Structure 1
Amino acid sequence: MDQKLEQHFVALLEENQNIVHKVCSLYTHDQDAHKDLFQEITIQLWKAYPKFRGDSKFSTWMYRVALNTAITLYRKSKKRVRTQDYDSVIFKIKTEDYDPTEEQQLKLMYKAIRQLNDIDKALVFLYLEDKNYKEIAETMGISEVNARVKMNRVKNKLRTILNP
């Protein structure tokens, strides 16, 4: 591939890399797995980049590739039995902003989100990223109405998980 294409891709990736990190955080439980998933998503983005037509925003396209890659790898890894102690999950919060109640609520929310299926996890992730339903629908390849219906169902699932 030509150097200009590579430079443009690297610039866009650097500008939007937080998207990939957030997806990695949602689907991994430790730093090594995070790094591996980040690398795999970057490879998939690079492979697909020449076909990116610009019909949507780069960030929307990036969400879609990142989530699809994470879901695919997550499903493959589910075949192996994993255990995770949720008490070992550490949230990095600035000292001056530290609120133990908020941290506990975040832990509980992430624990609940991890219990959802892959598609529902992706939907919640996009919702928490303040994406509107049109962007969520476009990213996930579903209709806007379907995105709204699915999100309402997911909210109910999370309520049930958090308030048994």
Structure 2
Amino acid sequence: MSKDFYPTSILPFAAIIIKICRAYTNSQEDFEDYYQEVCLQIWRSKDNFREQCKWSTWVYRISLNVCLTLLKKKKSNGQTYFTSDVLPDVIIIENRAFEDESLNQLYVAIRHLSEVDRALIILYLEENSYHEIADILGTNANNIRVRVNRIKERLKKILDEKIN
């Protein structure tokens, strides 16, 4: 990577990358691997960016594609991807990205969603417009609006079951 690429093209969008990687990982180690791979792929694909969308949209797309690809590889290699409500104690102690308990509960609920629905709700929680989400995911804004409402209902149900 060139010296200025990371601070100018990745670091300003680190929050996006972190949230997406967190939605698809359960441990600090996996999180760090996913984050590093996303950054590498952003750098590798920088010459393919044609400015037909915003750079942040490009970062979202690459982040989602990398995380989904890594998740598929992990599943095909027979590695377990646990979605239980409780992370093993060792992981919780070492895991700086998962310290906030209420946020952790939300991510646990999000991990119960399908891979595509996870991406969609993360984009929504990032306060992207329905149109921006549709651009990133390659669909239309009306479809996104309906799906977001359904996902919010599912998350509410999952969280209510956890609390009660």
TM-score band w.r.t. shorter chain: 0.7 to 0.9
After TM superposition, list the pairs within 5 Å mapping 1:6-155 onto structure 2.
6=2, 9-10=5-6, 11-79=8-76, 80-83=79-82, 85-86=86-87, 88=89, 89=92, 91-92=98-99, 103=101, 105-155=102-152
Structure 2 gap segments, 5+ residues each: none
Equivalent residue letter for 1:86 = L
Matches of 1:37 and 1:107, distance apart in 2: 18
C-alpha contact 1:86 1:111 (8 A) present in aligned 2:
no
1:15 deviation in Å?
Answer: 2.1
Q: CA deviation at 1:144?
A: 0.8
In structure 2, relative to structure 1, the CA distance for the partners of 1:139 and 1:8 (3 Å cut) is: farther
One-letter identity of the residue aligned with 2:66? T
- The code of the aligned residue for 1:48 comes to S
Quote the Cα distance in structure 2 between the aligned partners of 1:161 and 1:92. 20
Question: Could you tell me which amino acid in structure 1 is paired with residue 121 of structure 2?
Answer: V
Percent of residue pairs identical: 37
Q: Quick one: structure 1 residues 159 and 18, their matched pair in 2 at CA, closer, same or farther if it must change by over 3 Å?
A: closer
Aligned residues: 150
Look at both structures and tell me which one has the larger radius of gyration over its CA atoms.
1
Task: Give distance in 2, aligned partners of 1:22 and 1:65.
Answer: 13
CA contact (8 A) 1:24 1:38 kept: yes
Which structure has more relative contact order (CA 8 Å, sep 6+)? It is: 2
CA RMSD of superposed structures (Å): 2.2
CA distance in 1, matches of 2:13, 2:160: 35
